[in-house]
Each structure stands twice: as C-alpha cells, then as structure tokens.
Structure 1
Amino acid sequence: MTLLMLARGCPKFAAMAAILLPSSVAAFGGRCHSLHFSTTIRTLSVLRGGSSSATSDHQYLPISLPDTFKERTEDVHVALLSVLHASRVTRHLQPIGSSDIQTLSKKDASPVTVGDFASQAVALHTIHNTFANSDMYIAEEGSDALRNDEELLEKVWGAVNHVHTGDLNSEEELLKAIDYGQGIGEEDQSLVTKQRVWVLDPIDGTKGFLRGRFLGGQYCIALALIEDGEPVVSVLGCPNLPLPSSESTKAIPYGAWSENEVENDAATCSSNGLFSSSRGCLFVAVRGGGCFEVPLHILEKYLLEQSSPESASANLPWKRLHVTANDGTAKAKHEATFCLGVERGFSDPKGTVLKIAQVIHGPDALIVDDDGIKDIKNSIRMDGQGKYGLLARGDAEYFLRLPKDGYVDFIWDVAAGYLCLKEAGGKMSDSFGRAIDFSDIGKGRKAKLPEHVKGIFGSNGGMFHDALVNAYAEVNGCED
C-alpha cells in the first residue's frame, strides 16, 4: 500500500510524521497501532414516533449522556459515533508539518484530501446504518473523483481500513457511502420533502488540516441534524484542538505543538489509540438541552474497550459550556477576544473586520506583525468551526465571517456551530443582526443559506453582539 506522506524539512520527526497504511508500517521500522473494532449494536425498546428507521437495531456507544439529552438519545448516540469515527480517520491522516497528502482542486479552488473522502464515507455510513429510510443527507463531497482515480481510491480505502475496519466492507460500499451526501441512490423520492436532514462537512477547515499538527493546523468534522427547518442536534469533532487546560492554548500560532508533545503523541499513538490526553475535543449540543464538551481520547477509550451490548454505560466527564457573561460583568466589550479564520482573503477580503475591531477596541486595536501585516491585537486565528467551540466555552467572544460580495454560505459551514453557540448562551446572526433562516434546507436538496444572508456574526450575545452589529453599520455607513 502506498505511503501517504512524510514530514518534509523536519528529519527529526520523519518517523513520527509518516502516515502509514498497514502493509507499509514494517518497512519503516515502526508502527502506529492499527486499531480494530466493531460497533456495539443495541436494540432500543422505544423508537421515536414515526421518524425513526424501520429497523430496531441501532449503533449505540456504551456511554451515558447528559440528562438534558434524554429526548434525543438515539440521534445523539449515532451522531457521536459518526463524528468519532471521522475524527479518528482524519487524526490518522493529518500531516505533522507539511501538506504533502494527495490533493485535488475543486471548482472553488479549495483542496480536497484523502481525509475529506475518508471522513465523509465513515460518517455517513454510520448514520445511514440507523436512519437509512427516514432521513436525508447533505454533505460536501461526491465520489466522482475517486471513481476516476484508482490510486486515490486505494489511498482512501487503505486509510479507512487502517482505523475503521469492520463496517465498510468494500471499495464500492465506501463510494456509495460518500454519495449518500449527494442524494445518489435514494430510491425514496419523497426524501425531497423529508423533515429530517443531516448536514456534514467532513473536514471543515481543510487548509488547517493541510497546515499540519506541528503548526497547530485546526479543523473539525461538523455534523448537524436539521428537523422541520431548525438545527436540533449538532456535533463538532476537533481532533487537533487543545483541551482547555492545555498549555497549547497559549502557543503562537494557536495550538502549535512543541517538540516534546510531538514525541509524546507518537508514543501514545503506538499504544493507546489516536488521541492524547491534551488534544482532541468534541462539542455536542441539543436544542433546549445545552452544549457540552468531552475529550475525544475518553470517547475513543470507551469505543475501543467496549465489550458486550449488555455492558453498563460509562459515565463520561461531560462539561456543560457557557459563554462569557454578556452583560459586562466578566469583560468589557473592548476587552473581548476575536476568534477569526486564518485565510483572510476569504473571510475578510475588504479588511472590514479590522475596521470593526478598531471601532470596538479603540485606536490601539491593531498590531503589525514581522511581515508587515496588520492584525487584531486581542485575537485568535484558527481554521474550521472549532471557533464556535472556543466561544461556547468562553475562550473568545467575537466571531466574524465576511466573504466577498455575492458569496452564499453552505449549510454545512454554519449549522453545527450555530447550535453549539446558541445552546451555550451565545448568538449567531448575519451582519445586520438578522436571524439565520434554515427553513428551506433540504427542500429540493437545497444546501445553501438564503441569498440575503450577508456575512456571519457569532458572539456571546447581549452587549457584545450589539457591538458587532453596530460597528459593522458604522464601518459600512449603515447601508443594507
């Protein structure tokens, strides 16, 4: 099997950086433990009235959920398992410090990786096993590129098997799973009017994924269930995000790995699964049930160590999240932290965000880096919807995304982060303060927000959200 990648320009970490498929491990004198597991199947005695799958056998993690999730037990378990599988395969594939994993160019020029295809395949296959006939699936990737490139397909298939054996049984089954997200193979044409729509971004923040772990490249698997036009369940799997107590949260760039951490991570990978005790976060939210965080390494532990369907559910250290108090008692608005994307050419092509920061933070809001580029002094820059997780747990207070005129966001870039932020007490709107409308998602397989949505603002609400909207109006001369 083909070696996917080696870290370039960093010989000291070449062995650790190698992302190996099973047959190539021995040739390099080391190994990253290939973990084989099968999904626990449980029979749930009570199915949701009318909207569940026709089968009574459901994929079910042997873990307890927060009491506030009890009305969505089945949906949450399936969503967690789906994102956990996708997090594992992408964690296995993310390079240490270079972007030499095979890529393609999509029509919008963003990179597509082996990880995108592998993540979408395992995630949608997991959900479809439970909700095959009741739900719709909308996701970013299709299988055409793999069907036309045997070598690329071989790499995706090898990566999936290396960390996710037992559920996908053939390359054709993998291709079919990817295409669930495109509606291909849906025999029930009534799906165009289904009330339940799963939306997935298999790697949100692909450029952060390609930036690599050594540089702190962040990305996430973003999954949301939209029911009757409203997000009701969301999961953000962030395999490279430091846990709140980690020193890596203070690194520059945000989340960058130290040499010791790289070495320790390689040792962890060879014996105890793919996630260390300092990195890998999962955020999960249920409408009306709050937003919670749990370390990925703990979820992985219970997945890999599960014994029988009759085993007792494990109690996880679920941490309920709350945004920074938005009435000024914890922070003043001029002290609040911006959490922004790395790729400014996309998220802020006109430099509007910098001007908004100057309105809110004052004349000393900006700094100039060593390359002569202006940036916001009090800010965190990272890729992917994990930014909403940072806002949800109170690590930042402002998020802005202002793409070029005419750009309309895809639902998979918004829905999962929206619910996590909202359930932690925060707020999302467009740049004029208007609520995000999800009501048309899925109708005719519609995958974009309404065209009138101009930009995305997220915050911890209250005076902080008002500050964003008012500053934007000031910078733009109150033009709608």
Structure 2
Amino acid sequence: IRTLSVLRGGSSSATGDHQYLPISLPDTFKERTEDVHVALLSVLHASRVTRHLQPIGSSDIQTLSKKDASPVTVGDFASQAVALHTIHNTFANSDMYIAEEGSDALRNDEELLEKVWGAVNHVHTGDLNSEEELLKAIDYGQGIGEEDQSLVTKRRVWVLDPIDGTKGFLRGREFGGQYCIALALIEDGEPVVSVLGCPNLPLPSTESTKAIPYGAWSENEVKNDAATGSSNGLFSSSRGCLFVAVRGGGSYEIPLHILEKYLLEQSPLESASANLPWKRLHVTANDGTAKAKHEATFCLGVERGFSDPKGTVLKIAQVIHGPDALIVDEDGIKDIKNSIRMDGQGKYGLLARGDAEYFLRLPKDGYIDWIWDVAAGYLCLKEAGGKMS
C-alpha cells in the first residue's frame, strides 16, 4: 500500500495554498498516483452532491429534455461542475475534458441555476466561489480552450458522465434507483484510469443485494437514514460503492463512506496511519469452478424496450440457461429468471466483483453510445479479468 498526499477540497496545485491529506492506495497504482487521487476526489465530490439530490422515493425533481429525449437534472449539472472543477484545478493546462452537459440551459434559466448553485454549496467542500465559476466549470467539458473558445486537442482527455443512469436516479434511492458518476482518463485513445462512483449501490453481501427490485432499501435502512442523515457523512456502512481501475494495475472497490471519512473528515495524521480497505476485484472464473454456466447471472438495464427491444437477450439466456431460463413477472412480461436489473455503468462494477456474469445491451436501431457511456466501465471490467465486445 502506498501513501499518497491527496488535495483536500479543490484548491489549485498551482497556487501553493492547498492542504494535503495523506491516504493509502494500492501498490499497483504507483505509476498513476496523481491521476488516481484527483479522479477519486473528483468522483467523491460528485457522488456526495448527487446523493444529496437524489429523490427519496419518487421522481419529484425538475428535469429537462435533451435532443435525444433523455432527461437531465439539477444533479447532472451539479455533478459535472464539482467533478470537472476538481480535475481542472490540477490539470488546467495539460489536459482536455469531454462531458455530457453544457451550461446553456442554466444561463437561460435563473431559477434552475440557483437550484444547482444551492445544491453544490450544501455539500461541496471545494472552492467554487460564484455562479459564474460554476458555469465555467461545467463548460470545461465542452472540449474548448479557455481563451479563444476553440476546440482543443490533447493526448490526455478526461471523459465524464456526471450521472450515468439518470432514469435510475429519478426512480429514487429507497426504491433502489441506481446511477453512477463515470469518469475515465484516456491517453492516446486508450483508457488508463477509470472511476465509477455508485452512491446508491449496496455493498457486497448486504441485505439489499437480494432485494427486488435490486438495491431497494429495507425498512430498517429507511429509519436509520432518517435518523442519521446529514451533509457531513452522506454514505452509510451498507450502501455506496466506488470502483477504480488503472491500466495494468487492476480493478479495486472501496466503500464510499470510508473514502468520504478519510478524504474529507479525518485529520491528516489519522488518515496517514490508516490502511484503507481496498478490495481487489476479479470476475467470476469462466471454468465452472465458481459457478456453473446455467447458474450465471445476467445484469441488465431496467428499460427493457431500450436495452433489448427485439427480445434477443431473452433468446440468448435460453441458449445459456436452457428452457427454464425465463419467468413471467407480475405484469405478465417475460424476464430472465436469474437476472439483476439496474441502470447505469454500475453494472460493470457488479460484473467486476463477481455479483453477475453477463451484461448484454442491444439497443434500438440508430442509438449512439458516446465515449462517456462506456469508457470508465470498460476499464473497470477489463482490469478485473472481464471481456467486452
């Protein structure tokens, strides 16, 4: 385990007035320590603000519609602002940034801008000092230069989906609505660092991993959250996962409440002496020793009409699992018996830690996947021994 000095908050490394907070990282990340620590802090900030904003049990949150009819929320804008602001403070001149949102909608809607600004100020521990700085941070993700506003080209590109799985975000946290903050660093066209922050994903072997729908909160969890929730410690000991991978260095998982504690709350001395519980991930072995092929679990999207409009995945499941592969749910719809349905790239994390074995996505004709839709999940899966085609 290596000890790394991580920037507390968001102060620029160029100013010389930053505060350092030492944390331990896996030895296999030694070639990428600065990249990893900035990525972790960036995704942690974004995870906190989205955890604060995710509705409790319904979609009672303001949304806009993008050109492809997908929703965008206050959470998308707030997440992108704090994430890119954190990265830009360290890599202002050397790197390029590509992210899903732009600031135009906020510049044209003062009420929406105030909601985003209020959410960021409620939980963010960085140094966004004004609404204009927030708008500027969001627009870092448009891949343009700060001075001439022209497109720039760099060999290092940070790719961000501020909320991957917006519909899961809108389902509400108590219903188990899943989403993630997906961040990847690409060098010369290849992902080299990736982080998936999954604020509502149950930790391995916890009660909610067996719930239907996947990740739904138990009554006890609902009561405990109401009793202990605060802006200083948004993640519980049973929920909130972060996956991080480095090319050639493996894929790891750590609970968000642990990362939150040591990056944002503990004193430097306490953090320096802590041996953080990084868990190296490995996909389920494909030789039948861990699980027979007919017992393997499919991890699929919730929107069946989107991820499998022609029913091809159901047919594939019947080939793998046999004639008893399918069930009919309470709505009279056929589904795969041994499956988990959830939104967002957190599915790659479940495969990486061995909670599922197959992820198939065959969207409708004409749909385009953007680089932020796959880059972070791809590296987390690959470094855990998985394959993607």
Identify the TM-score tier after normalising by the shorter chain. over 0.9
Secondary structure, in 3 states, of the residue corresponding to 1:73?
A: helix
Whichever of the two has the greater Rg, that structure is 1
Query: Would the aligned equivalents of 2:240 and 2:255 in 1 still touch at CA under 8 Å?
Result: yes
Q: Are the structure 2 counterparts of residues 355 and 191 from structure 1 closer, same or farther at C-alpha, using a change threshold of 3 Å?
A: same
Q: Are the structure 2 counterparts of residues 115 and 48 from structure 1 closer, same or farther at C-alpha, using a change threshold of 3 Å?
A: closer
Q: Are the structure 2 counterparts of residues 144 and 366 from structure 1 closer, same or farther at C-alpha, using a change threshold of 3 Å?
A: same
Q: Are the structure 2 counterparts of residues 80 and 59 from structure 1 closer, same or farther at C-alpha, using a change threshold of 3 Å?
A: farther
Shift of 1:97: 0.5
Matches within 5 A, 1:321-400: 321-400=281-360
Higher relative contact order (CA 8 A, sep 6+): 2
Superposition TM-score, scaled by structure 2 size: 0.93
Q: Are the structure 2 counterparts of residues 385 and 122 from structure 1 closer, same or farther at C-alpha, using a change threshold of 3 Å?
A: same
Q: Are the structure 2 counterparts of residues 49 and 219 from structure 1 closer, same or farther at C-alpha, using a change threshold of 3 Å?
A: closer
Query: Would the aligned equivalents of 2:296 and 2:358 in 1 still touch at CA under 8 Å?
Result: yes
Deviation digits for residues 279-330 of structure 1, max 9, x if unmatched?
Answer: 0000000000000000000111112324359973632100000110112222
Secondary structure, in 3 states, of the residue corresponding to 1:275?
A: coil
Query: Would the aligned equivalents of 1:248 and 1:254 in 2 still touch at CA under 8 Å?
Result: yes
1:146 aligned partner? 106
**Number of aligned positions between the proteins:** 389
Query: Would the aligned equivalents of 1:358 and 1:364 in 2 still touch at CA under 8 Å?
Result: yes
Query: Would the aligned equivalents of 1:235 and 1:283 in 2 still touch at CA under 8 Å?
Result: yes
- The structure 1 segments of at least 4 consecutive aligned residues displaced by more than 6 Å after TM superposition are 41-59, 188-191
Shift of 1:85: 0.1
Secondary structure, in 3 states, of the residue corresponding to 2:21?
A: coil
Shift of 1:139: 0.3
Within the alignment, does 1:161 sit opposite 2:121 as a pair? yes
Query: Would the aligned equivalents of 2:2 and 2:24 in 1 still touch at CA under 8 Å?
Result: no
Select which of 186, 193, 198 maps to 1:233: 193
Secondary structure, in 3 states, of the residue corresponding to 2:47?
A: helix
Secondary structure, in 3 states, of the residue corresponding to 1:43?
A: strand
What are structure 1's unaligned runs of at least 5 residues? 1-40, 429-479
Secondary structure, in 3 states, of the residue corresponding to 1:44?
A: strand
Query: Would the aligned equivalents of 2:11 and 2:18 in 1 still touch at CA under 8 Å?
Result: no
Select which of 84, 87, 101 maps to 2:44: 84
Deviation digits for residues 194-224 of structure 1, max 9, x if unmatched?
Answer: 1100000000000000000121000000000
Secondary structure, in 3 states, of the residue corresponding to 1:327?
A: coil
Q: Are the structure 2 counterparts of residues 135 and 55 from structure 1 closer, same or farther at C-alpha, using a change threshold of 3 Å?
A: farther
Shift of 1:160: 0.3
Deviation digits for residues 7-65 of structure 1, max 9, x if unmatched?
Answer: xxxxxxxxxxxxxxxxxxxxxxxxxxxxxxxxxx9999999999998777778652110
Shift of 1:331: 1.8
Query: Would the aligned equivalents of 2:21 and 2:272 in 1 still touch at CA under 8 Å?
Result: no
What are structure 2's unaligned runs of at least 5 residues? none
Q: Which moved more, 1:181-190 or 1:240-249?
A: 181-190
Superposition TM-score, scaled by structure 1 size: 0.76
Give the Cα separation in 2 of the matches to 1:194 and 1:331.
44
* CA-based RMSD: 3.6
Secondary structure, in 3 states, of the residue corresponding to 1:254?
A: coil
Deviation digits for residues 60-80 of structure 1, max 9, x if unmatched?
Answer: 652110000010000000000
Give the Cα separation in 1 of the matches to 2:125 and 2:197.
20
Give the Cα separation in 1 of the matches to 2:222 and 2:7.
45
Query: Would the aligned equivalents of 1:224 and 1:232 in 2 still touch at CA under 8 Å?
Result: yes
Within the alignment, does 1:223 sit opposite 2:188 as a pair? no
Query: Would the aligned equivalents of 1:60 and 1:77 in 2 still touch at CA under 8 Å?
Result: no
Q: Are the structure 2 counterparts of residues 188 and 152 from structure 1 closer, same or farther at C-alpha, using a change threshold of 3 Å?
A: closer
Select which of 263, 269, 279 maps to 1:309: 269
Query: Would the aligned equivalents of 2:253 and 2:281 in 1 still touch at CA under 8 Å?
Result: yes
Give the Cα separation in 2 of the matches to 1:347 and 1:92.
28
Shift of 1:265: 1.3
